[in-house]
Amino acid sequence: MKKRTTTRRLAAFTLIELLVVIAIIAVLASLLLPALATAKEQARKTRCFNNCRQLLLSITMYVGDHRGFLPCGSMSTPRASKGYLTWDEQVVPFGGLTNLLVCPSHKFGRRHYWANANIENGQQSEGNPRQTGIMALGFSVRPETLRNPSGVVALTEIRDQKASYAFGGVSNPGEGWGSMLFAYEDLFILQFRHLKRETVSYADGHVENAVSNVLMGPKLTSGRWSFERFYRDPERVPTR
């Protein structure tokens, strides 16, 4: 009788100890998993950053071979069967390979970067020099003509586009859809997915991981964001 009681007590203690161990493991896992997720995202951010740097190098080489002009965001040409070439197609001969267009933190599509084209919808037309960006629709600029090339965005990440809420679907290499940042409204859907930062490259060739108040700012007295880094001409930036 005593043996059975002792055995039961030992079994109860063993079960309690097991539950305690499981509870400790669960607590440790809850502490470690966020840190692991952060480390993984940091690695993805680094890869995205390096992709942008390599793309900028390809763009710089393109500039050297095209009278100092940046590639257009999209340009009409009879050389392409579809009638146009997007910026990413134009830099392929200069090392802008399609695998560089992929950010590992994005889920949809195979091209995850926008060219800074034009955030004023009324100026959106082929070859229009009043487009606000630097790689626009049938239009581009020489970086040397910019007053502040280190403060003018060249490329930024796109949102995770999918057909359920994006009319044109996902963004893929060589397709006009999702190749250029076109509208003021597009700026409000940047997702800052890399630990609340966005990978952004600039006209002078440097890359940043920018937070939203930097990329959207400075803020105007009216409370609106100016988005001045998307304007190549400082005189076009809204003042109120």
190-208 pLDDT, tens digit per residue, is 989 999 999 999 999 999 9
As given in the structure block, the two tokens for residue 42 are 């940091």
Domain boundaries of the chain, sorted by first residue: 2-236
Predicted pLDDT at 2? 47
CB 172 within 8 A of CB 110: yes
What percent of the chain clears pLDDT 70, i.e. is strictly above it?
Answer: 84
* Interatomic CA distance for residues 89 and 60, integer angstroms: 15
pTM for the whole structure: 0.83
The string of pLDDT tens digits covering residues 72-99 is 999 999 989 999 999 999 999 999 999 9
Q: What is the mean pLDDT of residues 36-53?
A: 90
Q: Which residues pair with 207 in a beta bridge?
A: 201
Q: Which residue, among 107, 97, 86, has the nearest Cα to 181 in the 3D structure? A: 86
CA gap 60, 68 in Å, rounded: 9
Do the Cβ atoms of 56 and 155 come closer than 8 Å? yes
The whole-number average pLDDT for the span 19-35 is 64
- Residue from 116, 119, 123 nearest 183 by CA: 119
The DSSP 8-state label assigned to residue 220 in this structure reads: P
Rounded mean pLDDT of the chain? Answer: 88
Q: Are 234 and 151 in contact (CB under 8 A)?
A: no
Q: What percent of the chain has pLDDT over 90?
A: 70
pLDDT band at 14; cut points 50, 70, 90: confident
* pLDDT score recorded for residue 15: 67
DSSP type of residue 72? P
Q: Does the pLDDT at position 104 exceed 60?
A: yes
> How far, in Å, CA of 197 to CA of 121, rounded?
26
Dig out the tokens for 148 from the structure.
């502040």
Per-residue pLDDT, 70: 98
Pairing of strands 135-136, 113-116: unpaired
Q: What is the pLDDT of residues 109-154, one digit of tens each?
A: 999 999 999 999 889 999 999 999 999 999 999 999 999 999 999 9
Q: What pLDDT was estimated at residue 185?
A: 86
pLDDT at 24: 67
pLDDT for 47 = 95
**pLDDT(33) > 60:** no
